Amino acid sequence: MITFCSLYSGSSGNAIYMAYKNTRLLIDAGVSGKKIEAALAQISVDPKLLTAILVTHEHGDHISGVGVMARRYQLPIYANKQTWRAMYGGSIGKIEKQLIQVVEEQRAFELGDFGVQAVGIPHDAAGALAYSFFANNKKVSIATDIGYNREGLLQAFEGSDLMLLEANHDIEMLKNGAYPYPLKRRILSEHGHLSNAMAGEMAVSLVKSGTRKLILGHLSQENNEPQLAYDTVCEVLAAGGIRAGKDIEMEVAQRYCVSHVHQI
């Protein structure tokens, strides 16, 4: 079975652990190496056994621990060319040449016991990616930092048995909150972040395509609340004739601690 666990999730830092057979992956490492090691210890994973790190994009809440983890454990780092140009030598420090791996969008590749497919997503980064992983006749997809549900995007995630999907903000909390106007406009733009309601709309399509586990992630600390995100998505699902807890298992990923360990 595939093991999946969100170690940290939110605008303050993101890291996901996933494993199948002898392949153990980190998807993003947006907190310190020390925090990632402590989180892995909570789920009885030795970081020395990690296989690689995959990076979604170069923003600090996704890569602040990437360089440390790669150098400490000699982990290959997978990212596309745009992301490498944005983060190399700066945000993540010096990386040995043999650890640099380049991902091409829409081109599937094998990484240990996983098949991997990367897809570009709209966000204000050099080349933001979502990933789908294939193993054991199952599909797991991870998509955070999405400005909007652009045409064709959902097709990449159809049939995912488990999906971690961004539910970043409540629109009214954001509009009425303390953020300066330019930042509000950025978050609400087509290269910003996915609202709770938009996540719900995508979730309806995902469930209809076969998704049975949905994890809401990357919540804003200032413009969202876990229960609000959950309830809003539930309402949108219900309007589409889908019952949370019956037709789909749903949870909200924890911001500062390890979430549930899923076996798929």
Looking at residue 88, its pLDDT comes to 83
Locate 155 and state its tokens: 């097709």
The reported pLDDT for the residue numbered 26 is: 98
d(CA 31, CA 127): 21
The verdict on residue 264 lying in a domain is no
263 assigned to some structural domain = no
Q: What per-residue confidence (pLDDT) applies to 128?
A: 94
> What gap in Å lies between CA 5 and CA 16, rounded to an integer?
6
Q: What is the pLDDT along the chain (264 residues), one digit of tens a residue?
A: 999 999 999 989 999 999 999 999 999 999 999 999 999 999 999 999 999 999 999 999 999 999 999 999 999 999 999 999 999 867 799 999 999 999 998 789 999 999 999 999 999 898 999 999 999 999 999 999 998 888 888 999 999 999 999 999 999 999 998 898 899 988 988 888 999 999 999 999 999 999 999 999 999 999 999 999 999 999 999 999 999 989 999 999 999 999 999 999
Could you tell me if residue 245 is inside a domain? yes
CB of 10 closer than 8 Å to CB of 220:
yes
Full residue range of the structural domain in which residue 163 is found: 3-256
Within-domain flag for 261: no
Q: What per-residue confidence (pLDDT) applies to 151?
A: 80
Query: Which CATH number do you get for residue 26?
Result: 3.60.15.10
What pLDDT shows up at residue 200?
96
The answer to the question of residue 262 being in a domain is no
Q: Indicate the burial class of 121 (C-beta count within 10 angstroms; 0-12, 13-18, 19 or more).
A: buried
Q: Model's pTM, two decimal places?
A: 0.95
Q: What is the per-residue pLDDT for 190?
A: 82
Is the dihedral angle over the CA atoms 150, 119, 210, 163 positive or is it negative? Answer: negative
Q: What is the dihedral of CA 157, 110, 84, 149, to 10 degrees?
A: -10
Overall number of domains in the chain = 1
